[in-house]
Structure 1
Amino acid sequence: MRRVLGGVALALSWLTVAPVKGPHEVDRAVAGRAIGAAPVAGVFLGAATTAVAWVASTAGASEGIVGFVCIGFLAVATRGMHIDGLADTADGLGCYGSPERAREVMKSGGAGPFGVTALIVVLALQAVAIGILAEADSWAAIGFAVAFGRVAVVPACRRGLHAAEGSRFGALVADTQGPVAIGAWSLIAMAASVVCMPGSLWLGPVTVGVALALAWWFVKHCATRFGGLNGDVLGATTEGCVALLAVVAACTV
């Protein structure tokens, strides 16, 4: 139990600004438990984002303002790590050259045209969709979309995908998640979607399944392109899955 709680604490410490201290020493075993607990951090972020959306909506803000306020809150609540990963991954995928060249572009520190475009499109989709869901009082769907982005991190760190050269975070978390953790969180997400997603009962599980399949393919493609897994790819996967779930939910309210 202490190890499990340590994994949850480290997940909250890594993925949120919550004042939680993780274990003092972090090796691959501890990091793997933290990734396995990433959905718990997702539930925390989802609940907080839903609260922000409700407060903004109750205060009379328009759906557009509500959506962008939530996106700004998430950026602060996650230290901007995921959106930085989204931009870096897009720039890496958009460049020519070897995996080494792609990793060099990703580490350059700036956002190129592909990165800027990815940020505009993905974050705008999230904001518009969250605003629509808030207007429709579909609060559970907002929280679920945010939480699900962190569920997708678990299969992204599946066995068989190794870390990219020079990736410190990737070296800790890549190749750490087995089929039990992946299957358990996938089933939990599908079950929760029945309650949280608007529309037909089958829509939530189907959307979750499609999103997980797309994320599985995307992570594999990135690992091939970059010579392995790194933290930026995890951030891009998270943001993309949040956008997908939120948009599908917004289209069905």
Structure 2
Amino acid sequence: MLKSAPLDGLRFAFGTLTVLPVRVHRWDREAARGGMLCAPLAGLVVGGCAAGLGLLLLLLGAGPLLAAVASVAVPAALTRGLHLDGLADTADGLGSGRPAEDALRIMKQSDIGPFGVLTLVLVLLAQVAVLAQLYDGSWTRGAVAAVVSAVTARLALTLAARAGVPAARPEGLGAAVAGSVPTAAALGTGVGVVAVAGAAGVHAAVAVAAGAGAAEVLLRMCVRRFGGVTGDVFGAVAETAATVSLVVLTLGR
């Protein structure tokens, strides 16, 4: 059995969680474990790109609203919209009120139902509104928020891939990474990310913790409802974590 190298985990994280041209050489459980542990690093790059575009537009004379829209668009573009698609599909599955098998079938369909549309609209509006408010008050706070939300979103993926969280289906990316990360390693990564966020201020650390906590609530709801996680659920917990962390960053400002 091949031993997974650190670079295998990085390749897995960037190759599966972003559109960046990174070739994934291994798809085994060891590589998946490393990839999910490296997910916050992918979030750091995605968030840096989002903040960079927002700041560039502000520097060129654009208003905070346009900068906010750009900062929200970048993560969507760098993930091919998969997290947002997962959020919409999960909302449709939860909102359907159907048994697990039927709900999973609804989630797998290519169309988006009313619950998914409503959830997408509200989440994107919330993200843009928060970033516009923060950019308007301080370019630095807006940029930091873009980075913090992206990292928090990927931290939620690490935590959702911990041991003991089953896959709802035997196939797909969700099944490939479900339960791949030892619980201690997942929690250690979470503590580490919160600690690093604390360098940007207590508010940032609290935002990361709150986003991860909200994602955990959704994760448990989905496990109870669907019998486990899917790729769509991973996308949903990521967007939930990002949005809640952004909202917390506006509180008390």
So what's the TM-score if we normalise by structure 1? 0.92
The question of whether the paired residues in 2 share the 8 Å contact of 1:141 and 1:196 is answered with no
Matched with 1:12 is 14
Shift of 1:119: 0.5
**Cα distance change on mapping 1:252 and 1:45 into 2, 3 Å:** farther
CA-to-partner distance for each residue in 1:87-119, whole Å, 9 max, x for gaps? Answer: 000000000221000001001111111000110
Q: Distance in 1 between matches of 2:147 and 2:228?
A: 31
**Structure 1 segments (4+ residues) deviating >3 Å:** 203-207
Q: Distance in 1 between matches of 2:19 and 2:62?
A: 26
Shift of 1:73: 1.9
**Cα distance change on mapping 1:207 and 1:74 into 2, 3 Å:** closer
Q: Distance in 2 between matches of 1:177 and 1:2?
A: 13
Shift of 1:174: 0.6
Instruction: State yes or no: 1:221 paired with 2:221.
Output: yes
Q: Distance in 2 between matches of 1:53 and 1:252?
A: 23
Matched with 1:212 is 212
Identity fraction in percent: 31
RMSD: 1.7
Give the counterpart of 2:155 among 151, 172, 194. 151
The question of whether the paired residues in 1 share the 8 Å contact of 2:168 and 2:229 is answered with yes
Matched with 1:28 is 29
5+ residue gaps, structure 2: none
Matched with 1:243 is 243
Q: Distance in 1 between matches of 2:114 and 2:170?
A: 24
Q: Could you tell which deviates more after superposition, 178-187 or 122-131? A: 178-187
Matched with 2:133 is 132
The question of whether the paired residues in 2 share the 8 Å contact of 1:63 and 1:128 is answered with no
The number of residues matched between the two structures is: 248
CA-to-partner distance for each residue in 1:149-173, whole Å, 9 max, x for gaps? Answer: 1011111111111111244112211
The question of whether the paired residues in 2 share the 8 Å contact of 1:154 and 1:181 is answered with no
Instruction: State yes or no: 1:172 paired with 2:173.
Output: no
Matched with 1:41 is 42
The question of whether the paired residues in 2 share the 8 Å contact of 1:167 and 1:231 is answered with no
Matched with 2:194 is 190
Matched with 2:74 is 73
The question of whether the paired residues in 2 share the 8 Å contact of 1:11 and 1:37 is answered with yes
Q: Distance in 1 between matches of 2:72 and 2:171?
A: 27
Q: Distance in 1 between matches of 2:186 and 2:54?
A: 30
The question of whether the paired residues in 1 share the 8 Å contact of 2:40 and 2:155 is answered with yes
Shift of 1:45: 0.4
CA-to-partner distance for each residue in 1:62-104, whole Å, 9 max, x for gaps? Answer: 2211111222222111111100001000000000221000001
CA-to-partner distance for each residue in 1:110-139, whole Å, 9 max, x for gaps? Answer: 111100011011111111112222221212
